[in-house]
Structure 1
Amino acid sequence: MAVACIISVVIAILGIGLAFYYRRQIKNVKSQISFLNQHETNMLITSDQKSGCVAELTDELNTLIEQTAALRKEIADNESHLKDTIINLSHDIRTPLTSMDGYFQLLLKSHDSEERQQYAAVISDRLSSLKEMLDELFTYAKLTNKAYEVELSPCAVNEILLSVLFSFYKDIKQRGIEPLVNVPEQDIFIQGNEPALRRIFQNILKNCIEHGNNQLSVRLINTADTVKIYFENDYQTQEPIDANKVFDRFYKADGARSKTSTGLGLSIAKELVERLNGSITGNVKNDIFTITITFQLLKNN
Structure 2
Amino acid sequence: MWGWIFAFVALALLFYLFFLKRELRKLQHEMKELPIRASYGYRLSLDFRERTLMDIVDELNQMVDAFEGKNRQAKQMEENVRLFITGLSHDLRTPLTSIKGYVQLLEEVSDERKRAHYIKIIERSVTRLLEMTDQFYDLARIETNQKELQLSSFSLSNLVEDIFLSFYEQFEEQNIELHFPEHGRESQIIADEFMLTRVIQNIIQNILRYAKSKAVISYEHSDTDLIFSVKNDVKSHSKVAIEKVFLRFYTEDKNRTNTEASGLGLYLSKKLVEKMNGKMDAELDEDWFVLHIHLPLNRAQA
TM above 0.5, one fold?
yes
- Structure-1 residue corresponding to 2:110: 111
Structure 1 segment 78-117 matched on structure 2, within 5 A: 78-117=77-116
Cα gap change, 1:54 to 1:115, in 2 (>3 Å):
same
Give the Cα separation in 1 of the matches to 2:48 and 2:182. Answer: 66
Q: Does the CA-based 8 Å contact 2:191-2:296 persist in structure 1?
A: no
Give the Cα separation in 2 of the matches to 1:32 and 1:84. Answer: 37
Give the Cα separation in 2 of the matches to 1:49 and 1:275. Answer: 50
- Structure-2 residue corresponding to 1:266: 266
Q: Percent identity?
A: 25
Cα gap change, 1:76 to 1:183, in 2 (>3 Å):
farther
- Structure-2 residue corresponding to 1:11: 9
Cα gap change, 1:76 to 1:148, in 2 (>3 Å):
same
1:44 CA displacement:
1.9
Q: Secondary structure at the match of 2:132?
A: helix
Give the Cα separation in 2 of the matches to 1:147 and 1:118. Answer: 41
Q: Secondary structure at the match of 2:180?
A: strand
1:50 CA displacement:
5.6
- Structure-1 residue corresponding to 2:204: 205
- Structure-2 residue corresponding to 1:188: 187
Cα gap change, 1:277 to 1:49, in 2 (>3 Å):
farther
Q: Is 1:168–2:167 an aligned residue pair?
A: yes
Gaps of 5+ in 1: none
- Structure-2 residue corresponding to 1:244: 243
1:185 CA displacement:
5.3
Higher mean C-alpha displacement, 49-58 vs 192-201 = 49-58
RMSD: 1.9
1:64 CA displacement:
1.7
Higher mean C-alpha displacement, 215-224 vs 190-199 = 215-224
Cα gap change, 1:300 to 1:75, in 2 (>3 Å):
closer
Cα gap change, 1:185 to 1:94, in 2 (>3 Å):
same
Q: 2:20 aligns with which of 9, 18, 22?
A: 22
Q: Secondary structure at the match of 2:213?
A: strand
Give the Cα separation in 1 of the matches to 2:182 and 2:202. Answer: 18
Higher mean C-alpha displacement, 41-50 vs 193-202 = 41-50
The letter of the residue matching 2:6 is S
- Structure-2 residue corresponding to 1:228: 227
Cα gap change, 1:183 to 1:93, in 2 (>3 Å):
farther
1:74 CA displacement:
1.4
1:246 CA displacement:
1.2
Higher mean C-alpha displacement, 80-89 vs 118-127 = 118-127
1:51 CA displacement:
6.3
Deviations 1:52-94 (A, max 9, x none): 1222122112212222222222121111111111111111111
Deviations 1:221-241 (A, max 9, x none): 123432111111122343322
Gaps of 5+ in 2: none
Q: Does the CA-based 8 Å contact 1:158-1:185 persist in structure 2?
A: no
- Structure-2 residue corresponding to 1:294: 294
1:252 CA displacement:
0.7
Cα gap change, 1:80 to 1:63, in 2 (>3 Å):
same
Cα gap change, 1:183 to 1:46, in 2 (>3 Å):
farther
Give the Cα separation in 1 of the matches to 2:278 and 2:243. Answer: 18
Give the Cα separation in 2 of the matches to 1:148 and 1:287. Answer: 36
- Structure-2 residue corresponding to 1:281: 281
The letter of the residue matching 1:277 is N
Structure 1 segment 9-88 matched on structure 2, within 5 A: 9-39=7-37, 41-49=40-48, 52-88=51-87
Q: What is the aligned residue count?
A: 299
The letter of the residue matching 1:140 is L
1:41 CA displacement:
2.0
The letter of the residue matching 1:13 is L
